[in-house]
Amino acid sequence: VTNGGKTTLAEKLKKMLPNCDIISQDDFFKPESEVETDERGFKLYDVLDALYMDEMVKSIHNWMKSPSSSGVVTEERQNTCDDLKNTDDVYILIVEGFLLYNYEPLNELWNRRYFLTLPYEECKKRRSTRVYQPADAPGYFDGHVWPMYLKYKNELEENGSNVVYLDGTKSQDELLSFVYNDILQELKKLRE
């Protein structure tokens, strides 16, 4: 969901996990001139066609081929727990975005999938505090953003499996703790 805390969560996880890097879907938006406009004059940013998805897939595959040379900066981690000792050979890529699980070429790549949700009122309130370029036109949230979120969420619920749904109204610390511990469990399974 837009303004659900995806980027914040990803950045906090990056500081806590070994050899961790992030690829953000926001970095693959097409320029405004290439984004379609509907009959109401709304730029259709909340659809896959507004993104260079092939480029995103290529970036992910390039990272996977050589994560150690991907430019990951191994920073001193904030929390060094026993489960992360001796993990110098572990590389973690967090891919964050709003239309990741509705793009079939990506679905074979995920070890874990998290989907942040927000109720309509909270999402609209958060969205209204953000400044976008181009700015949201009057009625854009109700006329395009929210309907596209519901459409893609319904598709995911019908077709997606192994998705962990997260309540975006929970505190950042609570979400971080849950996802961090879940990733630790996944790392443990992969190492066994």
The mean of the pLDDT values for the chain is 89
Look up 21 and say whether it is catalytic: no
Q: Which CATH number fits domain 6-67+89-190: 3.30.9.10, 2.70.98.20, 2.70.150.10, 3.40.50.300?
A: 3.40.50.300
DSSP state of 51: B
pTM over 0.85: yes
Q: What is the mean pLDDT of residues 48-76?
A: 82
Q: Are 102 and 155 in contact (CB under 8 A)?
A: yes
Catalytic residue among 26, 54, 88, 167: 26
**pLDDT tens, position by position, 136-171:** 889 999 999 999 999 999 999 988 678 999 999 999
Strand partners, 93: 21
Token code pair at residue 145:
């953003």
- pLDDT at residue 89 is higher than 80: no
**pLDDT tens, position by position, 10-25:** 999 999 998 999 999 9
- Residue ranges of the domains in the chain? 6-67+89-190
Give the span between the Cα atoms of 155 and 131, in whole angstroms.
28
CA distances from 16 to 74, 75, 94 (A): 11, 9, 12
3-state class (DSSP) for residue 20: strand
pLDDT tier at 132 (50, 70, 90 boundaries)?
A: confident
